[in-house]
Chains A and B, each alone.
Chain A
Amino acid sequence: MILSKAEAQVLLKKVLGYSKAEACEITLSGSEGGNIRYARNAVSTAGDISTLSVSVNATFGKKTGTATINEFDDASLKKVVQRAEELAQLAPDNPEHMPLLGPADFKEAITYVPATAAATPDTRAEAVAKSIQVAKEAKLEAAGFIENTTSFTAVMNSKGLFAYNTDTDVIFTITTRNQEGTGSGYAARGFNDISKLDTYTATKIATAKANGSANAKAIEPGKYTVILEPVAAAYMMENMFRGFDARNADEGRSFMSKPGGGNRLGEQLMDEKVTIYSDPFNTELPGNTWNREGFPLDKINWIEKGVVKNLSYSQYWAQQKGVKPVPFPSNIIMEGGDASLEDLIKTTEKGILVSRLWYIRMVDPQSLLLTGLTRDGTFYIENGQIKYPIKNFRFNESPVIMLNNVEALGRPERTISVESYRSYLIPPMKIRDFTFTSLSDAV
């Protein structure tokens, strides 16, 4: 269920009024949405979900208790506040406890799109019908998933902070495979605005990849120049974004740790073509303008021309280190150039086009070495042209090493990580010496 800013404020004030704790913070959140899943060119499951809950965080000294409830009559609301206060009294002291933040000027986010909020089961079914039609015409089997969510979060605390945000989100993923099991293609889309979602065109791309990848040839594993499409690059780099944390780095257990102690802030860690930043006001990939701790979020550079510019500092760690807290962001964007994917292919003498990566797991957190596989369309490029599909590879590569080997970056595109479904704005990338370590028979 979605409450407006005014409705949320009234409810939060009421709940906060019940508090007897030294400090109290109330979070109200709700969502509405639905999903539909299909496989073998037919719908398999579908669901509609609506939630609304209130969470109370009560503090006495360094003791904190949290309780949540999804009933909203006065008795229930009083009960949840009381329960949080009881839990706080039972809790052990948390030496890392930090005081609540006071009011701040939070700018309005641009994350909510009414068209997405208005989506119905019919909207989803029609989008699926178009996708299945494309697959059938291409004589392929489609399996896919659409999920749209409208959500809101509002926070109020005893220090006078009040923040509200509402957000819409739609994701679509589609896999098409041929009957013989020799070709497979994929496409993934994520938007705040459902009117940007074109399941017909996305499925066309997946079917082209499926038919184009059939009867792949095996080539030797080794080091190759690769062009990673944004959906492949995003999944690879997501593992790195999670490591932009000062505490782990300072504790000496992250790729951001510096030999001899401390972290790599200020160090040239990547190629100078690499700039990674966050900006909640980016129109392609808008994000929330505040985080759960109550910090306003604004544009911030993490990597600028290859140099580590910022790491995230929690309130506690910032105090320990005598620096300002740096909140973890609500989106991540990587700069690129103007080249299209086709332009990157045209300028490649010998290389491999990677449509998608799969099952990426950390092998060594020290170097951020990751392993995973290519899938759904891997192609050999020669003299600026795609020559033929090749069999899939397993890779062992670190995104940090990869971002030192950047040949060229294309135009950034909004894409989603195929595991977390989180959206990123990422360019296609041409990378030299990308390490493939074995062949896979998987299609």
Chain B
Amino acid sequence: MKRKDFLQLSAMSLGAVMLPKFALLGNPIDPLQALEEGMTVSMKKELADIALNAAKSKGATYADVRIGRYLNQFIVTRENRVQGVSNTESFGVGIRVIANGSWGFAASNNVTREGIAKTAERAVAVAKANAKIITEPVQLAPQQGYGEVNWKTPIEQNTFAIPVKDKADLLLKVNSIAMQGGANFVNSAILAVNEQKYFASTDGSYIDQDIHRIFPTFTVTKTNKATGKFETRKSLSSPVGMGYEYLTPTPESKVSGIVTRYKDRYDILEDVKNATIDVDQKLKAKTVEPGKYDLILDPSHLWLTIHESVAHPTELDRVLGYEANYAGTSFLTLDKWRSKNFQFGSKHVNIVADKLQKGSLGAVGYDDEGVKCGEWDLIKEGVLVNYQAIRDQAHIIGLKQSQGCCYAQSWEDVQFQRMPNVSLQPGKDTLSVDDMIKNVEKGIYIIGDGSFSIDQQRYNFQFGGQTFYEIKDGKIAGMLKDVAYQANTQEFWNSCTAVADARDYRLGGAFNDGKGQPAQSNAVSHGSSTARFNGVNVINTARKI
């Protein structure tokens, strides 16, 4: 039903796609109910032990249990009206076991002693049924138990505790700035997520985590009735692993330049004013001449290119073929990694995986199979050195321990390998964006993410953006439109000739990275400083119908 409901929703909302897929993951609740304490930790521990014992008594050699309460809030507006306020809650338990060498999983919203014991039994039965057709038994990397521990996103203000009216008023103010600035339409929204998850396993871990995320966003639209043309400009905000404090701007969080961009705090009122000016310029902008250009890519844009062309192909399940029928495989095959000299990118390209960065979407203390999170190199001075793995994959790449990349979008979904934050490290030498632009003869400076598409092995991609500025002989020469660039991943990253220093480092990201059948969403951030790529193929996307 969820899939069909989503379709019914999405079918009608092409012009105003604001509600993400996970809007339908829970039951609507009163906003204040989200602030109520859920089940106590001691109760969760008691129930978790029942699950683990039930699984073991039925023949499981390993078991883990996740008792999860997932809260979402959406406030959606257009122009001068609030279109919807919705709060959802989903509470239940997911139990995963190994029996007869095979995985089994079962989930239930009946979080009682009896319900949990039955769910554990079902998980073991599924494992035993699947064991009849497996080719090799699961090899689980050893994992120490941590005892009773907890972790919490370091937030200053819980978004759910801010009155709905305050949030709706802020969005209506955003809309009114856009309309006063000459926009024809504006859509805006605040999405908030709180994952309260309790994990326990037969390794002896009892992990209680409280994770917060927020995403304020808008789209300003301007139409030209006479020509029938229209342009949009999206917000330059990012979804982040923070509380409502993200919406309290500070001077240090602003990056000045052709348009203000934002680090760990966001000024939505300033950005919508700028967006309304941008959208007007976009309508009047010069159409791009196709050809080779040097691209200067802002972090608000580059995060998505990193996500698609670096983070996805280094997912070990893709490399091994587990996603062949859905998300795809990867060109970064094991032989390239084993060679220790596969030149993925230029020497400027240092890419790190982590689940630690403060304010990032991937930041948690422990993953969804009880592994403490860390940081590791994926690409070092351009060479492929590692992948992203979980416990049952670690042995394949010679690791003694998992890298902590296991995640499930909800208690009712089975956890599997999902990407951590994957980020381009800033340049080591002092280099500002202005200095970078000074040396470009014929280039395009791209800000914000737009259209994106990449093949199933992650070789060939095409990206758009929000705003495009022509660079001529070291100077910005005005706005362009109808721009998209196409490249081969390896050629593109080898054409990287400079990365700005750490002063420019910022995170971008998404709430809805999709993988798996049935499909699951993962929230992930990607950081970078502005980077330069030489001689990239740019096409003109204007067509007439």
A residues with a Cβ closer than 8 A to B are 29-31, 35, 37, 39-49, 51, 53, 55, 66-70, 83, 86-87, 90-92, 94-96, 121, 125, 129, 141, 143-145, 147, 149, 151, 153, 173-175, 177, 181, 241-243, 245, 247-248, 251-255, 257-261, 269, 291-292, 312, 314, 328, 358-369, 371-373, 375, 392, 394, 396, 398, 400-401, 420-422, 437-443
CB-based contact B1/A394 at 8 Å: no
Residue B258 interfacial (CB < 8 Å): no
Contacts of B168 in A (CB 8 A): 92
CB-based contact B482/A251 at 8 Å: no
Contacts of B30 in A (CB 8 A): 67, 83, 86-87, 90
CB-based contact A253/B221 at 8 Å: yes
Q: Which of B304-351 contact A (CB under 8 A)?
A: 320-326, 328-329, 331, 333
Contacts of B459 in A (CB 8 A): 440-442
CB-based contact B230/A252 at 8 Å: yes
Contacts of A360 in B (CB 8 A): 453
The tally of residues in B whose CB lies under 8 Å from a CB in A reads 85
| A175→B322 CA distance, assembly (Å) | 11
Q: Known contacts A29-B1, A70-B27, A361-B453: does B83 contact A259 (CB below 8 Å)?
A: no
- CB of B473, distance to nearest CB on chain A (Å): 29
Contacts of B1 in A (CB 8 A): 29-31, 51, 149, 151, 153
Contacts of A41 in B (CB 8 A): 135
Residue B126 interfacial (CB < 8 Å): yes
Q: Known contacts A35-B517, A87-B30: does B82 contact A394 (CB below 8 Å)?
A: no
Contacts of A258 in B (CB 8 A): 228
CB-based contact B544/A367 at 8 Å: yes
- CB of A416, distance to nearest CB on chain B (Å): 12
| A129→B132 CA distance, assembly (Å) | 11
Contacts of B323 in A (CB 8 A): 39, 143
| A68→B324 CA distance, assembly (Å) | 37
Please, what's the 1-or-0 string for B432-466, where 1 marks a CB less than 8 Å from any CB in chain A? 00000000000000000001111111111010100
Q: Known contacts A45-B414, A253-B221: does B539 contact A95 (CB below 8 Å)?
A: no
| A242→B11 CA distance, assembly (Å) | 5
Q: Which of B96-153 contact A (CB under 8 A)?
A: 103, 105-107, 109, 126, 129-130, 133-135
CB-based contact A257/B228 at 8 Å: yes
| A143→B459 CA distance, assembly (Å) | 21
CB-based contact B460/A398 at 8 Å: no
Taking A68-B28, A442-B456 as known contacts, 8 extra A-B pairs with beta carbons closer than 8 A to each other, sorted by chain A number, are: A53-B27, A68-B27, A90-B164, A175-B324, A260-B225, A359-B453, A365-B15, A371-B453
Contacts of B428 in A (CB 8 A): none
Residue B376 interfacial (CB < 8 Å): no
Contacts of B462 in A (CB 8 A): 363, 371, 394, 396
Closest to A258 in B: B228
- CB of A442, distance to nearest CB on chain B (Å): 4
Contacts of A439 in B (CB 8 A): 460
Q: Which of B75-90 contact A (CB under 8 A)?
A: 81-83, 85-86
Closest to A37 in B: B517
- CB of A258, distance to nearest CB on chain B (Å): 6
Residue B250 interfacial (CB < 8 Å): no
Q: Known contacts A242-B10, A420-B7: does B460 contact A43 (CB below 8 Å)?
A: no
- CB of A23, distance to nearest CB on chain B (Å): 18
Contacts of A243 in B (CB 8 A): 14
Contacts of A440 in B (CB 8 A): 455, 459-460
Residue B486 interfacial (CB < 8 Å): yes
| A173→B107 CA distance, assembly (Å) | 25
- CB of A267, distance to nearest CB on chain B (Å): 11
Closest to B165 in A: A92
Residue B537 interfacial (CB < 8 Å): yes
CB-based contact B545/A255 at 8 Å: yes
Q: List 15 A-B contacts (CB under 8 A).
A: A35-B518, A45-B105, A67-B30, A70-B109, A83-B30, A90-B30, A92-B81, A96-B83, A153-B1, A173-B325, A251-B15, A359-B455, A363-B451, A438-B460, A442-B455
